[in-house]
Amino acid sequence: MHRVAVLVLDGAKPLDVGIPAQVFSNRPSMPYDLRVCGAAPGRVRGGEGLSYHVDSGLETFAWAQTIFIPGYREPAATEPPAAVVEALRAAHRRGARLAAISTGAFALAATGLLDGQRATTHWHYTRALARRHPRVQVDENVLFVDSGQVLTSAGAASGLDLCLHLVRRDHGVGAANHVARRLVAAPYRSGGQAQYVPRSVPEGVGEVFAGTREWALAHLDEPLTLDALARHARVSARTFSRRFVENTGYTPMQWVLRARVDAARELLERSDLGVEQIADRVGLGTGANLRTHFQRILGTSPTEYRHTFSA
């Protein structure tokens, strides 16, 4: 029996707690033993109007072989309790596997165990995690990251992907498929698959070239060169490129490409147009070109994206 602990921190999110508790719950078909704990025994205030009553505290870590750190509210503005941080470090030294779901990555990063490692969290918090812990290599484009003894995942649903990945890693594909069937979940999504953020185009800061960005979005099906964008903004190409990168973090052509991919996403979701037609409408030319950029930016194909998100 592999021993699994789920840590409930103040403000814990219900799904983030419930997913590992459900996947690794004690049952004849599952070779796992599960305990839910807190920083101390007793009542823990949760998120979304819920609270939890846990029977055990951090002493559970000495028993556990895998410890889940579910997400919690306001991770960028709060520090996890020092006792929790030290207990996670001690568990890691003993060889325990530590797995963070969503914003639980902030508590795991506070231990220093993610320094120099690739990690992820919910897309809404990736930049905050990178700012707060600059030594962590934050990857905002994946569902989960398995670095061996430490693992991180994106939002709540990708926490399920991470749990199934661990079952698959521990006991093989058959066991993971059995759990997926029980939960009526997709049995496999690659950790390298992109998080589906609302827009891949970065938000501009302030009004710098806002008019030109708006114009470009209305003319994606036309040739949009650096010179054309600079002419619209009435500055030199060199000035436009420099200030655009300062404002968005992307070169103008990178921004245009992502805008075209976003436009393609909307057409895949809301229309019956074929891939070739969509590629032409958004200025990517051919279906092959669209597929290449879709795979590189989103980690999936247009067909799979439509299958997942079309109404």
For residues 165-194, average pLDDT: 77
Predicted pLDDT at 189 = 64
Predicted pLDDT at 81 = 94
Q: Provide the pLDDT confidence category of residue 191 given band limits of 50, 70 and 90.
A: low
For residues 229-242, average pLDDT: 93
Q: Mean pLDDT, the chain, as a whole number?
A: 89
- The answer to whether residue 124 scores a pLDDT higher than 80 is yes
Worst-scoring range by mean pLDDT, 105-114, 194-203, 258-267, 272-281? 194-203
Phi, psi at 294, each rounded to 5°: -60, -45
For residues 275-298, average pLDDT: 93
- Give residue-wise pLDDT tens across range 275-285: 999 999 999 99
Between 246 and 152, name the one with better pLDDT.
152
- The answer to whether residue 2 scores a pLDDT higher than 60 is yes
- The answer to whether residue 175 scores a pLDDT higher than 80 is yes
What counts of helices (H) and strands (E) characterise the chain? 13, 10
Which whole-number Å values give the CA distances from 70 to 17, 47, 133, 150, 193, in the listed order?
Answer: 6, 11, 18, 14, 21
Beta carbons within 10 angstroms of residue 64's beta carbon: 23
- The answer to whether residue 203 scores a pLDDT higher than 60 is no
- The answer to whether residue 69 scores a pLDDT higher than 70 is yes
Buried-state track 106-115, b at ≥16 Cβ within 10 A, e below 16? bbbbbbebbe
For residues 52-64, average pLDDT: 96
For residues 171-177, average pLDDT: 82
**pTM for the structure as a whole:** 0.68
- The answer to whether residue 198 scores a pLDDT higher than 90 is no
Worst-scoring range by mean pLDDT, 64-68, 190-194, 273-277? 190-194
Predicted pLDDT at 190 = 57
Q: Provide the pLDDT confidence category of residue 187 given band limits of 50, 70 and 90.
A: low
For residues 233-252, average pLDDT: 88
Predicted pLDDT at 311 = 52
For residues 58-75, average pLDDT: 96
Predicted pLDDT at 185 = 75
For residues 92-120, average pLDDT: 96
Predicted pLDDT at 205 = 46
**Measured distance CA(6)–CA(20) in Å, rounded:** 7
Predicted pLDDT at 230 = 94
Phi, psi at 64, each rounded to 5°: -80, 145
